[in-house]
Amino acid sequence: MKKVYGTASEALEGVLHDGMFIAAGGFGLCGIPELLIAAIRDAGTKDLTVASNNCGIDDF
């Protein structure tokens, strides 16, 4: 890893585009990538396909 970002939004800047496929990891309730999910949501990117082994729980 060459660079450490202060926030998930900074790390995703200029990377996201409409219609892209995103694979996100996680591990049970303790490994939900909350900051990543929020940053993607806040970016306003549309028509995403997201694959995850456990990206969240019901009503999260």
Q: Which of 26, 22, 12 lies closest to 60 in space, CA to CA?
A: 26
In a domain, 15, yes or no: yes
What is the predicted pLDDT for the residue at 33?
82
Say how many domains are in the chain: 1
Q: What is the pLDDT along the chain (60 residues), one digit of tens a residue?
A: 678 999 999 999 999 999 999 988 777 677 778 888 899 999 999 999 988 776 556 666
What is the predicted pLDDT for the residue at 57?
65
| pTM for this predicted structure | 0.74
In a domain, 39, yes or no: yes
Q: Which domain holds residue 23?
A: 8-52
In a domain, 3, yes or no: no
What is the predicted pLDDT for the residue at 53?
75
Spatial neighbors of 11 by CB under 8 A, at least 6 apart, are: 5, 39
d(CA 5, CA 11): 6
